Chain A
Amino acid sequence: NAGVTQTPKFRVLKTGQSMTLLCAQDMNHEYMYWYRQDPGMGLRLIHYSVGEGTTAKGEVPDGYNVSRLKKQNFLLGLESAAPSQTSVYFCASTYSRISYEQYFGPGTRLTVT
């Protein structure tokens, strides 16, 4: 099993550009999450999904959109990147049964200039 994978690993964008981050998991997990990690702020939830075709907002959703067209994939989109979106992005997934550990991807380091 590959677990949770993220592409790309690194990306530099100019302000105003758009991009999509892909998260894939092969563990048949129902729940998937996108987090951002910033120095001094810890991990914060951007959006999450409790199943194929469903998404919900997290703590810091502004400027991001997501889609979960297939159970194994969760996409995070930035329509018009801003320097404030410079961060490390982590995807995670877990089973729908309550209180199960989350499995994290390796992260995507995004810089917006």
Chain B
Amino acid sequence: KNEVEQSPQNLTAQEGEFITINCSYSVGISALHWLQQHPGGGIVSLFMLSSGKKKHGRLIATINIQEKHSSLHITASHPRDSAVYICAVSSVIKAAGNKLTFGGGTRVLVKP
């Protein structure tokens, strides 16, 4: 079993719909990261969180440390949100060099 599991693997939505991507992890973490990768593009960090909730524009990330679960929500989705969203966790062990363990990614397609 992978240490970081994402669901769904693929998601298609109509423009304007509310999107939720889930991430579960099985190890102790110091933080959880949400990353975005557009087709053929680089990887950018959207959020890093260790508790509670963060919001940036139409994106909201939440984490429940007790349940080892995080969600990324996209409100009022737009075709430009079409991308792969990747969940990653950083180790609680400082000596691990802040290494990230990644989920498999969720491919999101938003249709106009």
Contact of A99 among B31, B41, B103 (CB under 8 A): B31
Give Cα distance in the complex from A102 to B42, angstroms: 13
Tell which of B31, B43, B88, B98 touches A90, judged by Cβ atoms closer than 8 Å. Answer: B43
Q: Report B95-112 CB contacts with A as 1/0, cut-off 8 Å.
A: 001111011110000000
**In this assembly, does B94 line the interface, its C-beta being within 8 Å of a C-beta of chain A?**
yes
A19 proximal to B (CB < 8 A): no
**Nearest-neighbor residue (CB-CB) of B31 within chain A:** A99
Give the residues in chain B near A100, CB-CB below 8 Å. 48, 98
Contact with A along B39-56 (1 / 0, CB 8 A): 001111100101000000
Residue A48 interfacial (CB < 8 Å) = yes
Interface size on B, residues (CB 8 A): 23
Inter-chain CA distance A29–B105, complex, in Å, is 26
- B102, A101: Cβ atoms closer than 8 Å: no
B90 contacts chain A at the CB level, 8 A cutoff = yes
Do A31 and B98 have beta carbons less than 8 Å apart? yes
| A50 and B97 within 8 A (CB) | yes
A98-B94, A103-B45 known; A43 and B99 CB under 8 Å? no
A45 at the interface (CB under 8 A from B): yes
Is A74 part of the binding interface, using a Cβ–Cβ cutoff of 8 Å?
no
Please give the distance in Å from B27's CB to the nearest CB on chain A: 14
Q: Check A99/B98 contact, CB under 8 A, given A42-B103, A42-B105.
A: yes
Q: A99-B30, A104-B44 are in contact. Are A33 and B99 (CB under 8 A)?
A: yes
Beyond A45-B99, A56-B97, whether A101 also contacts B105 by CB under 8 A is no
Q: Provided the pairs A31-B98, A43-B102 are in contact, do residues A101 and B45 lie with their beta carbons within 8 angstroms? A: yes
Known: A96-B98, A103-B45, A105-B42. 4 other contacts (CB 8 A): A33-B100, A48-B99, A98-B90, A102-B98
Q: List 14 A-B contacts (CB under 8 A).
A: A33-B100, A40-B104, A48-B97, A50-B97, A90-B43, A92-B43, A98-B30, A99-B30, A99-B90, A100-B98, A101-B48, A102-B45, A104-B43, A107-B43
Query: Which 6 pairs show the lowest CB-CB distances between chains A and B?
Result: A99-B31, A104-B43, A101-B45, A43-B102, A99-B30, A106-B42
